[in-house]
C-alpha cells in the first residue's frame, strides 16, 4: 500500500535560487492542463512571521523538475494555500495572518487566478476579516470552500465560538453560502474541516475540535444527508485530526490527517478542571509528543474513523495534498521534519527545518 518516498523541497528538481526558507510546510497540489502545480508556505519556522511566502511551483514532467511560477509576499504570515480548478481556470487561495509567533491572528482570504499565458493575477481579498480558508474542491460537481471564522478563539479564555461555513462560487472570487438558509453549518470549538461524498451522495467529514465544546475536545465526525449537505450531525472523537484531507474512492471515504502517537492517540487527556485548564493541559501534552501523517478510513456504520497506516513522517508533520496517478494509486505530498532524523516531539520539530516529500500510496481496488 505504501510505496517509495521522495524528497521534493528542497530537492534536485528545485532550482538553487528558489525563494525557500528553513520551514517548508503547508501545501496543496493539483494537476491542471497537463502540468502539476505545487504551492507551499515557506518561512523561518513553523510559527507566524513577516518573512513568510507562498511559493507556487510548476512541473511539466510529473514532478521530476519544478519551475518557480509565483511568489506571494505580504510581509505578514500566510497559510493554507489551496488550489481550485473552475471552468478550466486555476485559482489559488490562502489567508493572511499576523506576525506574532505566540498568537493566532487570522486575517483575510486572498485569491489569485492563473491566466492562459501562465501569469497570476494580483491577489485580491475574497473574504471578510477573521477568516481562514481550509479546503477548496469540487463537491458533487459544485465548487466548495470550507472556511471558518473566529479562529482566534481557539486559544483564548472562555468557550470558543468558531463558525464553519460551506461556500460556493460562480467566478472564483465572490463566495456565497452553499445553502442560504444555513450559512453556518457548525458553531463551537471546531475549525479545520474537510468533507467528501460517499457512493450514495451522503456527506462525511472531520472537524478539528481543538478549542473544545460541550466539555469535549478532539474532533467531530460529521455527516449530512445527500438532499441537504449543510444539515450536519456530529459525533465526538477524543483524537485530534489536525490538517484533515478527506476524499472519496470507490464509494468509500478516506482521510489523511495528523496522528498523535502517544496517549493512545487521544488529544483529550485532561479530565479535571474547567475548559481553560483542560485546554492548557491538552495542548501541552500534545506539543511534547511525537506525530505522524496517517491514512484513515471512515466506518460509516459506526460513524467512526479507523487508522489504516502511517506514512513516512515525524517531528513537525502532516499537511497533505494528493494527485491521482491511477484508478487506485495516488501520490501524497506532505511536509515533515527530516524523515531520516530523530523522532522529535512536535514542538521541537516546529522550531527546526521541515521538508516537502511525496509518497506513493495504493488504495484497495474493491
- Tell me the whole-structure pTM to 2 decimals: 0.97
Give the range of the structural domain holding residue 224, as residue numbers without chain letter. 2-362
Burial of 102 (0-12, 13-18, 19+ CB in 10 A): exposed
| Mean pLDDT, range 348-364, rounded to an integer | 97
- Calpha distance 352→96 (Å, rounded): 23
Cell 499537511 appears where? Answer: 319
d(CA 306, CA 272): 28
**What is the Cα–Cα distance from 57 to 335, expressed in whole angstroms?**
15
The model's pLDDT over 208-236, given as tens digits with 9 standing for 90+, comes to: 999 999 999 999 999 999 999 999 999 99
Cβ atoms 166, 232 nearer than 8 A = no
Q: What is the CATH number of the domain that holds 297?
A: 2.120.10.10
Name the domain count of the chain: 1
Q: Which DSSP state fits 244?
A: -
pLDDT tens-digit readout, 319-347: 999 999 999 999 999 999 999 999 999 99
- Residue for cell digits 504551492? 39
Stretch 116-133: mean pLDDT: 94
What's the rounded Cα separation, in Å, for the pair 277 and 20? 38
Which grid cell sits at 142?
459544485
Residue-wise pLDDT tens digits, 240-262: 999 999 999 999 999 999 999 99
E strands, 73-156, where?
77-86, 89-97, 109-114, 124-125, 131-139, 142-149
The set of cell numbers assigned to 78 is 500566510
Total number of residues shown for the chain: 366
Amino acid at each position: 500500500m505504501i510505496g517509495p518516498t521522495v524528497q521534493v523541497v528542497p530537492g534536485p528538481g528545485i532550482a538553487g535560487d528558489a525563494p525557500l526558507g528553513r520551514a517548508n510546510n503547508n501545501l496543496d497540489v493539483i494537476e491542471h492542463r497537463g502540468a502539476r502545480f505545487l504551492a507551499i508556505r515557506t518561512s523561518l519556522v513553523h510559527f507566524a512571521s513577516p518573512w513568510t511566502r507562498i511559493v507556487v511551483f510548476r512541473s511539466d514532467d510529473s514532478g521530476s523538475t519544478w519551475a518557480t511560477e509565483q511568489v506571494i509576499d505580504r510581509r505578514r504570515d500566510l497559510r493554507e494555500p489551496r488550489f481550485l480548478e473552475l471552468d478550466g481556470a486555476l485559482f489559488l487561495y490562502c489567508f493572511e495572518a499576523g506576525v506574532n509567533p505566540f498568537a493566532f491572528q487570522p486575517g483575510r482570504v486572498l485569491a489569485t487566478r492563473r491566466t492562459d499565458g501562465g501569469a497570476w493575477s494580483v491577489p485580491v481579498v475574497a473574504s471578510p476579516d477573521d477568516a481562514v480558508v481550509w479546503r477548496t474542491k469540487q463537491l458533487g460537481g459544485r465548487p466548495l470552500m470550507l472556511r471558518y471564522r473566529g479562529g482566534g478563539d481557539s486559544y483564548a479564555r472562555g468557550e470558543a465560538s468558531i463558525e464553519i461555513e460551506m461556500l460556493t462560487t460562480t467566478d472564483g472570487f465572490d463566495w456565497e453560502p452553499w445553502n442560504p438558509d444555513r450559512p453556518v453549518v457548525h458553531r463551537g470549538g471546531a475549525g479545520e474541516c474537510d468533507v467528501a461524498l460517499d457512493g450514495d451522495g451522503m456527506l462525511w467529514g472531520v472537524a478539528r475540535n481543538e478549542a473544545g465544546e460541550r466539555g469535549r475536545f478532539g474532533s467531530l465526525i460529521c455527516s449530512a444527508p445527500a438532499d441537504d449537505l449543510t444539515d450536519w450531525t456530529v459525533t465526538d472523537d477524543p483524537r485530534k485530526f489536525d490538517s484533515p484531507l478527506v476524499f472519496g474512492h470507490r464509494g468509500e471515504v478516506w482521510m489523511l490527517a495528523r496522528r498523535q502517537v502517544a496517549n493512545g492517540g487521544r488529544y483529550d487527556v485532561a479530565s479535571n478542571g474547567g475548559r481553560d485548564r483542560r485546554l492548557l493541559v491538552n495542548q501541552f501534552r500534545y506539543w511534547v509528543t511525537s506525530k505522524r501523517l496517517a491514512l484513515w478510513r471512515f466506518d460509516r456504520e459506526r460513524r467512526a474513523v479507523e487508522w489504516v497506516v502511517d506514512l513516512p513522517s515525524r517531528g513537525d508533520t502532516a499537511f497533505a495534498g494528493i494527485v491521482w496517478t491511477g484508478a487506485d494509486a495516488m501520490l501524497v505530498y506532505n511536509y515533515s521534519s527530516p524523515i531520516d532524523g530523530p523522532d522529535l516531539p512536535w514542538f521541537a520539530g516546529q522550531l527546526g527545518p521541515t521538508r516537502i516529500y511525496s509518497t506513493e500510496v495504493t488504495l484497495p481496488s474493491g
